């Protein structure tokens, strides 16, 4: 309820619109820092253009790992062999993606869209070093995630339970996906009347925040 009461407090202030952007980004930072926060998990959407005549939207839950208000970026981590990476690396350039945050007790939905990039190299090295052994399991499958298995039983995941030393082999699969947000759509299903706002972010850092009819 902390998230909800923070926005309630803002809406009771004289200039709620001027504080909305800061509160959204503070809440994203809090979401990245705590697995208990309503915005720790988001849905991340892409377009699969493998068959250009039949582009297909795809959506999946991911963990919000970092939010940078100054750069207007949010990050999650993933396996480079996953379908979402293929989708980001093909089709429209730069890759376009959308995030959605919602947790039922708060009644507050946030949609963010912008350009997504896949990051390897030193930045990924730094994060990988801090990644605990149990989290590294996500990057350790010998066979690529999403690969079809022609067997009556689900495949074994024993290849992921390894020592810290062996877990280093997961590094080659590990990537940061960073979305630079260009547009936010915030909706609060408030008992005494719904409230909705949009914020446009341009590349110079300027923002345009306005109310819209909910
Ligand atoms: C609660 C939850 C958290 C998840 N977090 C991540 C994540 O941070 N990164 C990720 O790549 N997949 C995560 N997943 C798995 C994805 O939702 C998805 O199933 C997987 O990445 C394959 O997606 P793709 O085939 O579209 O690439 C999570 C799933 C759940 C249910």
Can you give the pLDDT at residue 52?
85
HSE at residue 57, side-chain half, CA atoms within 13 A, is 8
First to last CA, the chain: 22
pLDDT tens sequence across 160-171? 988 888 899 999
Residue with tokens 């706002």: 197
Where do the H-state alpha helices sit in the chain?
A: 2-11, 16-33, 83-89, 121-130, 133-136, 164-167
CA of 106 to the centre of ligand 1 (A): 23
Those residues whose C-beta lies under 8 Å from the C-beta of residue 15, and which sit 6 or more positions away, are none
- Nearest CA to 57 out of 100, 103, 104 is that of 100
With a 6 Å cutoff on the Cβ, whether 2 touches ligand 1 is no
Q: Whose CA is nearest to atom 26 of ligand 1?
A: 84
Cα–Cα distance measured from residue 96 to residue 158, given in angstroms and rounded to the nearest whole number:
35
Can you give the pLDDT at residue 82?
98
Can you give the pLDDT at residue 91?
81
With a 6 Å cutoff on the Cβ, whether 78 touches ligand 1 is yes
pLDDT tens sequence across 95-110? 999 999 999 999 999 9
Cα–Cα distance measured from residue 116 to residue 72, given in angstroms and rounded to the nearest whole number:
12
With a 6 Å cutoff on the Cβ, whether 56 touches ligand 1 is no
Residue 133 confidence class, pLDDT cut points 50, 70, 90: confident
Residue 1 confidence class, pLDDT cut points 50, 70, 90: low
CATH of domain 2-211: 2.30.110.10
**DSSP assignment of 156-176:** P-GGG---HHHHGGGGGGEEE
The residue to mutate among 42, 50, 61, 102, having the most atoms of ligand 1 within 8 angstroms of its beta carbon, is 61
Q: Could you count the other beta carbons within 10 Å of the beta carbon of residue 105?
A: 9
Mean pLDDT confidence for 188-206: 95
Contact 90, 49 (CB under 8 A): yes
Can you give the pLDDT at residue 92?
85
The residue to mutate among 39, 62, 135, having the most atoms of ligand 1 within 8 angstroms of its beta carbon, is 62
Average pLDDT, rounded, for the chain: 95
Q: Whose CA is nearest to atom 12 of ligand 1?
A: 62
What one-character DSSP code corresponds to residue 147? -
Cα–Cα distance measured from residue 49 to residue 194, given in angstroms and rounded to the nearest whole number:
36
Which three-class secondary structure state does DSSP give residue 137?
helix
Contact 207, 201 (CB under 8 A): yes
């Amino acid at each position: 309820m902390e998230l909800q009461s923070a926005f309630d407090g803002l809406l009771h202030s004289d200039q709620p619109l001027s504080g909305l952007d800061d509160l959204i980004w503070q809440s994203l930072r809090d979401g990245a820092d705590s697995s208990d926060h309503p915005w720790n998990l988001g849905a991340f959407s892409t377009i699969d253009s493998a068959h250009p005549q039949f582009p297909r939207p795809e959506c999946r839950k991911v963990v919000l790992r970092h939010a940078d208000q100054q750069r207007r970026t949010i990050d999650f981590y993933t396996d480079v062999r996953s379908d979402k990476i293929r989708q980001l690396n093909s089709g429209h350039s730069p890759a376009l993606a959308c995030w959605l945050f919602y947790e039922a007790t708060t009644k507050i939905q946030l949609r963010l869209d912008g350009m997504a990039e896949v990051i390897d190299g030193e930045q990924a090295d730094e994060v990988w070093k801090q990644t605990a052994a149990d989290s590294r399991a996500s990057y350790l499958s010998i066979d690529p995630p999403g690969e079809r298995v022609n067997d009556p039983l689900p495949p074994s995941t024993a290849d992921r339970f390894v020592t810290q030393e062996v877990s280093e082999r997961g590094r080659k699969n590990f990537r940061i996906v960073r979305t630079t947000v260009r547009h936010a759509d915030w909706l609060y299903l408030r008992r005494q009347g719904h409230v909705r706002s949009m914020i446009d972010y341009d590349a110079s850092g300027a923002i345009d925040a306005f109310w819209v009819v909910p």
